Amino acid sequence: MLHRLKIAVILLFLCLNSLQAQEADRPIFNKGFSLYSSGDMQGAIKYFSQSLESEKRSAQTYLYRAMAFKSTGELLAAINDLSSGISIDSLNPHYFFLRAQLYMELRKSDLAYDDCTRGIDLDEDHLELRILRGTLALIKGEHELAVEDLHQAVILGADQPDIFYMRAEANAATGQWAAAAEDLTTLINLYNRRDTNLYFSRGEAFYLTGAYQSAIRDFTTVIKNNPDMQPAYLYRAKASFCLERYSDALSDLQTALNMQPDCEDSRELKQTIDTILGYRQ
């Protein structure tokens, strides 16, 4: 799931810009910042390091140097600088978010998760932290927390399609099928996503909430786009069975059995319908 996410470091620039006015009387730092802004990261690192020799308690300088290290691929050095910044300014949630991102690049998801939690404890309305922890919670199987974080992210203004996709997955995992169907509908209608798998997932959610006609509609769309998708015939048969449309159900079940003769679910449901119809004769 993570490969679908691309979280931008938006708040970093807000943080950096807000500090510029405080640094007019810091020539060494200012030189480093000028080089950083021009893209000369090695030069920036040199001057930020010199600045830290005289200002060892400057969390902002550690932050800038960390971002310069990140740009040069020196992720461990960047993490060390952010850790130093956190030791000086432990109440800034942005530092935890940035370090969490670096941990993610190093595939240290547990450390990233811990940083997200520490950051959210400081600011429960931090959008990027909610998105990142929600993503990690989904991967870790903590589905209720994933729902909570991704729901809060949407409230805070997140509108990326992947947020709704992940929340739908988390809702489904916790049995909240109506909520899952709603998120999938948002993806299909608002974001114009027409992926066959989305229709299948929504059809399954509709089926499990008892919205059988809506389920049939989605599985019909799936079959139209992918006539070889055996589970779509089986689920459409189940929905038709629930609506007592036995002829339609039998037709789909036969197709499903032709595709997969050893499918026990298809065989059992067909036997049930045959028994019902036998009693009626």
> Which CATH number does the domain housing residue 112 bear?
1.25.40.10
Report H helices in 89-142.
Answer: 93-105, 109-122, 127-140
Residues 14 and 113 both lie in one domain = yes
| Boundary residue ending a domain (108, 123, 138) | 123
Which tens digits make up the pLDDT trace of 197-251?
999 999 999 999 999 999 999 999 999 999 999 999 999 999 999 999 999 999 9
- Predicted confidence (pLDDT) at residue 270 exceeds the cutoff of 90: no
Is 234 part of any domain? yes
Domain membership of residue 133 (yes or no) is: no
* Residue 86: inside a domain: yes
pLDDT of residue 280: 53
Lookup result for tokens 């992926």: 195
Q: Based on the fold, state whether residues 118 and 11 are members of the same structural domain.
A: yes
Q: Are residues 18 and 114 in the same domain?
A: yes
159 within domain boundaries: no
Classify residue 186: in a domain, yes or no.
Answer: no
One domain, residues 219 and 114: no
d(CA 158, CA 146): 14
* Residue appearing with tokens 């589970």: 231
pTM: 0.83
115 and 11 in one domain? yes
Q: Is residue 103 part of a domain?
A: yes
Q: Look at residue 35 and tell me if it is in a domain.
A: yes
Among 15-19, 61-65, 168-172, name the one with the lowest average pLDDT: 15-19
What is the domain range of residue 35? 7-123
Residue 14 has pLDDT above 50, yes or no: no
Amino acid letter, residue 128: E
Look at residue 194 in the predicted model and tell me its pLDDT.
83
13 and 115 belong to one structural domain: yes
Picking from 73, 105, 123, the residue at the C-terminal end of a domain is 123
Structural domain total, the chain: 2
Which residue, of 95, 123, 151, is where some domain finishes? 123
Please enumerate, as own/partner, the contacts of 90-95 that have beta carbons within 8 Å and a separation of 24 or more. 91/122, 92/15, 92/59, 92/122, 93/119, 93/120, 93/122, 93/123, 93/126, 93/129, 94/11, 94/12, 94/15, 94/119, 95/59, 95/63
On the question of pLDDT at 279 being above 90, the answer is: no
Question: 223-255 as b/e, with b when 16 or more CB fall inside 10 Å?
Answer: beeeeebbbbbbbbbbbbbeeebbebbbebbeb
Q: Each residue of 104-128: pLDDT tens digit?
A: 999 999 999 999 999 999 999 999 9
Which pLDDT tens digit goes with each residue over 17-64? 544 444 445 899 999 999 999 999 999 999 999 999 999 999 999 999
Alpha carbon distance 143, 145 (integer Å)? 5
Residues 11 and 119 in one domain: yes
